[in-house]
Amino acid sequence: MTFTDPRWDDLTDADWDVFATAWNAELRGDDAQTQLPQLPWLLDDPPNTAGKYVVPMNFTASPESQWKFIVAAYWRGNEETHGHLAAGPVEHLLGRHGDQYIALVEQMADDDPLFAKMLRGCYQNQMSDEIWRRLCVARGDVG
């Protein structure tokens, strides 16, 4: 049984942008502190870092909210941070909700070669063989 916390769905697009910006800054080791969106149900002990919330988001946010984070984190990241995105949130989403999201991933990969390259950081993990095959095609591993 999966627990989905509907409070993630209350975050606005601006909140997701702030969260994604803070996460990417932490991954790059930026010294500047980026203010996080209000996540009162998770703010348990300082310092509050975006990275601390990505794993719980993967397990408790709706797939729609996870996708919002992925898109925001992709656009606010760079090749240095994209590997973390691929091996974390993208891999997790496709492992649990691949049937619902593989077409969106394929479309982004078709539209953006850097997104396709980013997908090379994913492993099959919990993905079905069919989702994995489609991901491999999207990232250019096979024709």
H or E element that contains 21: helix 13-28
Per-residue tokens: 40: 């009162």
What pLDDT, on a 0 to 100 scale, did the predictor assign at position 10?
87
Cα(131)–Cα(93) distance, integer angstroms: 11
Domain spans, the chain: 6-138
50/15 Cα distance (integer angstroms): 12
CB atoms near residue 141 (< 10 Å): 12
Give the pLDDT of residue 53.
82
pLDDT single digits (tens) 15-27:
899 889 889 988 9
Number of H helices, E strands in the chain: 7, 0
Q: Place 30 in a pLDDT band, splitting at 50, 70 and 90.
A: confident
What average pLDDT score do residues 43-50 get?
60
